[in-house]
Chains A and B, each alone.
Chain A
Amino acid sequence: MDKMPAWADAILVPLISLLLAAILSALVIIGIGEDPIAAVKLMVSGALGSTYGWGYTLYYATNFIFTGLAVAVAFHASLFNIGGEGQATLGGLGVAIICLALPWPHWSLALLAAIGFSALFGAMWALIPAYLQAKRGSHIVITTIMFNFIAAALLNYVLVNVMRPVGSMDPASARFSEAVHIPTLHELLAPIGIEFSKAAPANVSLLVALLACFLVWLLIWRTRLGYQIRAFGKSESAAKYAGINPVRITVIAMLISGGLAGLMAINNVMGEAERLVLNATEGAGFIGIAVALMGRNHPFGILLAAILFGFLYQGGAELALWTSIPRELIVVIQALVILFTGALDNMVRIPLEKLFVRFRRSSAGGSSR
C-alpha cells in the first residue's frame, strides 16, 4: 500500500513547500525593512489588478510554460536538462533568421515557420549533450550547463559580428518587418468585444503554449513514446529488458525538451521584442526548473506554476518600481521554491508520510494489509 494517497503527493506536498517558501520570502522582505503584506498587495494589484498587469503576467507565464514543459519532459526520462536557457537562446536565433530571411505575406505563415525554426534550433542545441549522454556517458547536467555558456558566446558573436545592422552600435538584430508581427491579446480579444490592454506583450503564443501543454500531456500519458520515456526514466535496466533503446529515448526526449525550450522564442523574440537582442531569455530557462518541480512534471501543474511565476515576475517588477525592493526578490523566491519543492522535498514528505501512516493506523486499526 502506498504510504500516502496520490492527492497528497500531487497537491499537499507542493503546497506545503510553497507555503514554506512564501514564509521565508516574507521574512526576507521583513529583513530588508519592508512590509510583506503591503508588498503582496502591491504585487497582486500590479500583476492581476488590470488587463495591463495580466498581459505581462501571461506573457511571462507563456515563457515559463515552454521552459517548464521542456524541463519536465526531460525529467520524465530521468534527464536533468539545465540547458533550457541555451536552447531558448538558440530558438531565438532560429526565429530571427527565419523572420528576417523571407518577405512573409502574413503573420500566420511566419508564426508557423517560426514555430518550426525555434523548435528545430532548440532541439539541435540539445542534440549534442543528448548524444554525448547516451553514447559516451557524459553527464548531461554538466554538458547542458556548458552549452548555455557556449550559446551565450555564440549569440554575442552573431549579434555583434553578423546580424547587427550596418551603422548600429547596439548588439541586436534588425527589427522584424510589420508583416511578421503576431497578434497580441489586445488584437485577439478586441473583435469579440473584450477590452484588453494595448501595451501588454501577451500574445497569440499563449495559445501555442496551452496547446503544447495538452500535447505534452498526451505524449507522456497516452502515447507509446511517452510510455517508453517514462519506463526508461524509472529504470534503465528494465527499459533494456523491454527492448526500449536507451540511446534513442535519451536523444528523442532531449530533442523534444530542447524543442520546447526553443519554442519560447516565438513569445519573447517574435511576440515581444520583434528583434533579437542579447540575453533575450532573461533566465526563463532556469525558471523552467522551478516551474517543473513545482508542477510535479505534469502539464497542468506546470501551467499553474507558470502562471504563479508570471505573477511573481510582473509583481516583482511592480515592487521594484514603487518600493525599494529590488527585482532580485523574485530570484530569491525562485531559489526558495526550487529548494523546497526540489532539493528539500524529503523534509516535507517524510514527516507527512509518517503522519498519514499514523492517521491510518489509528483510524483503520488492524485492517490494513
Chain B
Amino acid sequence: MTAPVTAPSPSPTESRATAPAIELKGISKSFGPVQANKDISIRVMPGTIHGIIGENGAGKSTLMSILYGFYKADAGEIFINGHKTEIPDSQAAIAAGIGMVFQHFKLVKNFTVLENIVLGAEEGRLLRPSLKKARGVLKQLAEEYELNVDPDALIEDLSVGHQQRVEILKALYRQADILILDEPTGVLTPAEADHLFRILNNLRAEGKTIILITHKLREIMEITDSVSVMRRGEMTDTVSTSGTNPEQLAEMMVGRKVLLRVDKTPANPGEKFLEIEGLRVVDDAGVERLKGIGLTIRAGEILGIAGVSGNGQSELLEVLGGMIPATSGTVRVRGEEIDITGKHSDGQSRRARGIAHVPEDRQHEGLIMDFHAWENICFGYHHDPKFQANRFLMDNEALRKDTEAKIERFDIRPPNCWTAAKNFSGGNQQKIVVAREIERNPDILLVGQPTRGVDIGAIEFIHKQIVALRDAGKAILLVSVELDEIMSLSDRIAVMFDGQIMGERLPADTNERELGLLMAGVTDAPTGAAPALEETIHG
C-alpha cells in the first residue's frame, strides 16, 4: 500500500491477508420471467486479476451490476475483505472501495476530464478546491500507472482509449481497491488494449484487485490469474488460468464442444456482383469515416470484413445499404453503377437493386420492436406489390400468410405471427430478420454482426443459411467483430482499420496473429492474396 491515494481499506486490515477481496455467495437475480443469475458464488483474492468469461447474455454484466449496486439481488450475500456488505446503491459500492468501468462509458461529454473526475467525489460545496485537489492527484496517478490524460480536455474531444482512462482514473480517484472492467477491449485497437493491460498489471502490482469481464478467450489467457465461466446465468466453474486452456474454456462457455469451423465446400466465385472503388464517407461532424475503400465481391463468395469495431465497418454497411450518403466513390452492382450520394437513392432503391441487408443492430434497425412479427416481415419491402391489396391498401392477410411460412421454415419460436418483435429472444429476432432478407433471394447480401447476442443453436442455423445463399451463387459481405466468425465463414477476408482496407487474405493462408496486426493498422505485414486489390485502395 504505497500509493499515496490508496486509503486504507475501511475494514480492519488484519483480515486482509487471508480473506478474499470479494466473495459472492448464492447471488440470484430475475428480470420478470428471465433468470439472469442463478445461485452464483465466487471468490476473488486480493491483488489478483480475475476473469469472468461467458457468451453474450450469460449474466456477467448483471452480476457485476449487482456488485456495483446498480441492481438489487433477489437472494445472496456479498462479502468485501471478509466483511458482509450491503450494496444497495453505487454510493455504497464506492464506499466499499469498488470502482467500475462500464462497457458504455458513463462520462459527461461536454465536461472536462477534471470535472468528470470530481463529479460525485467533490471536497466541499464549492468547486474550486475540489478541482485543484483533483489536478494534483491526477498528476500522481498519471505517473504511477501510465494513465496520462489532459485534465482540461473535453471528453468529446478525446479518443475512446483516453476516455476509458478517464473512467479508470475516476475509480482510482475514489480510492477504489477493487476495479471491475466490463468488456474493456471491445472498442480498443490491439495497441490500446496492450496499453490497458499494462495499466492493469501496474494496478495489480500495487495490490489492487481487478475483475475483468470479457468474452474473448485470448484476453483471459493473457492477463488473468484465475477465471470463472458463466453460462446461461449460472457459474459453470472457476479455475486457475495457468491450469486451463482456451479449448477447455470455450467448451465450458457453451456447454459442449464448439464447432469452430463451418461446414462448407470451397467457394466457386463467378462474375463480379459488387464492385466498390474509392468509397469515401465524411460524416456530419466532418470526420472522414471511410477513406477510399476498394472491394470486389463475386457471385458465390463470402467476403468477410475483420476489424475492431468503430473503424468504418458500420459506415461501409450503411452506405451500401443506402442508409447514409457517400461523399465520393463508385459502386457497381453487376456491372452497373448505382447512385450512392443519397440524392436519388435510399434503402428502398438498394433493395430494388437486389441488395438485402441484415443490419448490425437488429433492435434499433432491423426490426420495429413494438410491431407484430407479421408487420416486421415486410419491413423495408412494404412497397412490394405482392403485399398490396390494391392501389391504396396493404394486404395484411398476405403478410400473415408469408410470416407463417417463414416461421415454419426458419423454426422461429414462439410460432405466432401476432407476437411482438420485442417478445422474441435475440436468436429468434435475428431469425426473423435473416428470413426476411434471405428469402428475397437477393443478388447481394450485406450482413452485420449476424450472431451478436444470439444463442449457439441459432448461430449455427444462421451460418448455414448464409453459406446456402452463397452456394446459390450470391455475393455476401460479412462484417463481424468476432474474428472466429470471420475466419470460419469467409472465403476471403479484408481487414479494416481507420476507414481503410489494410489488406486482404485467404483464410487458409493467414492466422489470427497476422489479422490482429492488420486490425491494429500495422501494414508491413507480408502481403498475401488478392494483389489486384492493393491498387484500388488508394485509387
Direct contact of A and B (CB under 8 A): yes
Q: A222-B394, A224-B388, A224-B394 are in contact. Are A241 and B370 (CB under 8 A)?
A: no
Contact B394 A242 (CB under 8 A): no
CA separation between A231 and B364, bound complex, in Å?
11
Q: Does A357 contact B (CB under 8 A)?
A: yes
Interface residues of B in 358-406 (CB under 8 A from A): 359, 361, 364-371, 375, 379-380, 382-383, 388, 392-394, 396
Of the listed stretches A82-90, A232-240, A320-328, chain B binds A232-240
Q: Which of A1, A218, A234 contacts B368 (CB 8 A)?
A: A234
Which residue of the partner chain B has the closest CB to A241? B365
Which residue of the partner chain B has the closest CB to A226? B394
Contact A234 B370 (CB under 8 A): yes
Q: A238-B364, A238-B366, A243-B349 are in contact. Are A227 and B382 (CB under 8 A)?
A: yes
Give, as a whole number of angstroms, the nearest-CB distance from B341 to chain A: 15
Contact A231 B379 (CB under 8 A): yes
Q: Which of B367, B383, B394, B420 contacts A238 (CB 8 A)?
A: B367
Which residue of the partner chain A has the closest CB to B324? A240
Which residue of the partner chain B has the closest CB to A219? B392
Contact A241 B357 (CB under 8 A): yes
Q: A222-B393, A242-B347, A357-B32 are in contact. Are A231 and B368 (CB under 8 A)?
A: yes
Which residue of the partner chain A has the closest CB to B33? A368
CA separation between A242 and B347, bound complex, in Å?
6
Contact A245 B346 (CB under 8 A): yes
Q: Does A2 contact B (CB under 8 A)?
A: yes
Q: A224-B388, A234-B370 are in contact. Are A243 and B348 (CB under 8 A)?
A: yes
Q: How large is the interface on B (under 10, 10 to 19, 20 to 34, 35 or more residues)?
A: 35 or more
Interface residues of A in 206-237 (CB under 8 A from B): 218, 222-224, 227-228, 230-231, 234-235, 237
> Per-residue CB proximity of B14-57 to A under 8 Å, as 1/0?
00000000000000000011000000000000000000000000
Which residue of the partner chain A has the closest CB to B425? A369
Give, as a whole number of angstroms, the nearest-CB distance from A221 to chain B: 8
Measured between beta carbons, the chain A residues less than 8 angstroms from B371 are: 230-231, 234
Of B347, B349, B368, B371, most buried by chain A (CB within 10 Å of CB) is B368
Q: Does B322 contact A (CB under 8 A)?
A: yes
Measured between beta carbons, the chain B residues less than 8 angstroms from A235 are: 364-365, 368-369
Q: Which of B370, B379, B388, B420 contacts A242 (CB 8 A)?
A: B379
Q: Number of A-B pairs whose CB atoms are under 8 Å?
A: 74
Give, as a whole number of angstroms, the nearest-CB distance from A3 to chain B: 8
Which residue of the partner chain B has the closest CB to A357? B32
> Per-residue CB proximity of A329-369 to B under 8 Å, as 1/0?
00000000000000000000000000001000000000011
Measured between beta carbons, the chain A residues less than 8 angstroms from B452 are: none
CA separation between A240 and B346, bound complex, in Å?
8
Contact A227 B370 (CB under 8 A): no
CA separation between A368 and B32, bound complex, in Å?
12
Q: How many residues of A contact B (CB 8 A)?
A: 24
Contact A241 B366 (CB under 8 A): yes
CA separation between A224 and B393, bound complex, in Å?
7
Which residue of the partner chain B has the closest CB to A6? B418
Interface residues of A in 238-255 (CB under 8 A from B): 238, 240-245
Q: A234-B368, A238-B379 are in contact. Are A243 and B394 (CB under 8 A)?
A: no
> Per-residue CB proximity of A1-39 to B under 8 Å, as 1/0?
111000000000000000000000000000000000000
Q: A231-B368, A235-B368, A368-B33 are in contact. Are A241 and B380 (CB under 8 A)?
A: yes
Give, as a whole number of angstroms, the nearest-CB distance from A275 to chain B: 38
CA separation between A17 and B33, bound complex, in Å?
28
Contact A241 B323 (CB under 8 A): yes
Which residue of the partner chain B has the closest CB to A3? B32
Measured between beta carbons, the chain A residues less than 8 angstroms from B347 are: 240-244
CA separation between A231 and B368, bound complex, in Å?
7
CA separation between A368 and B383, bound complex, in Å?
37
Q: A243-B380, A368-B33 are in contact. Are A237 and B414 (CB under 8 A)?
A: no
Q: Which of B349, B359, B394 contacts A223 (CB 8 A)?
A: B394
Contact B368 A243 (CB under 8 A): no
Which residue of the partner chain A has the closest CB to B361? A237
Contact A243 B350 (CB under 8 A): yes
Q: A237-B364, A357-B32, A369-B414 are in contact. Are A242 and B380 (CB under 8 A)?
A: yes
Q: A227-B375, A237-B365 are in contact. Are A243 and B351 (CB under 8 A)?
A: yes
Q: A234-B368, A235-B369 are in contact. Are A224 and B382 (CB under 8 A)?
A: yes
Give, as a whole number of angstroms, the nearest-CB distance from B42 to chain A: 29
Interface residues of B in 495-523 (CB under 8 A from A): none
Give, as a whole number of angstroms, the nearest-CB distance from B394 to chain A: 6
Measured between beta carbons, the chain B residues less than 8 angstroms from A222 are: 392-394, 396
CA separation between A364 and B375, bound complex, in Å?
29
Q: Does B423 contact A (CB under 8 A)?
A: yes
Give, as a whole number of angstroms, the nearest-CB distance from B320 to chain A: 12
Give, as a whole number of angstroms, the nearest-CB distance from B387 to chain A: 9
Contact B392 A223 (CB under 8 A): yes
Contact B393 A218 (CB under 8 A): yes
Measured between beta carbons, the chain A residues less than 8 angstroms from B350 are: 243
Q: Does B321 contact A (CB under 8 A)?
A: yes
CA separation between A218 and B366, bound complex, in Å?
26
Give, as a whole number of angstroms, the nearest-CB distance from B88 to chain A: 21
Give, as a whole number of angstroms, the nearest-CB distance from A50 to chain B: 42
Q: A234-B370, A369-B414 are in contact. Are A241 and B388 (CB under 8 A)?
A: no
CA separation between A3 and B33, bound complex, in Å?
10
Give, as a whole number of angstroms, the nearest-CB distance from A32 to chain B: 43
A-B residue pairs in contact (CB < 8 Å), sample of 29? A2-B420, A218-B392, A222-B392, A222-B393, A223-B392, A223-B393, A224-B382, A224-B388, A224-B394, A227-B375, A230-B368, A231-B368, A234-B369, A235-B364, A235-B368, A237-B361, A238-B364, A238-B367, A240-B365, A241-B347, A241-B359, A242-B348, A242-B379, A242-B380, A242-B382, A243-B346, A243-B350, A357-B32, A369-B414
Residues of A participating in the B interface, judged by any CB pair closer than 8 Å: 1-3, 218, 222-224, 227-228, 230-231, 234-235, 237-238, 240-245, 357, 368-369
Closest 8 pairs between A and B when the two form their complex, measured CB to CB? A243-B347, A243-B348, A242-B380, A241-B365, A243-B346, A237-B364, A222-B393, A234-B368
14 A-B pairs besides A227-B382, A241-B366 with CB distance below 8 A are A1-B423, A224-B383, A227-B375, A231-B371, A231-B379, A234-B368, A234-B371, A237-B364, A241-B323, A241-B359, A243-B346, A243-B347, A243-B351, A369-B33
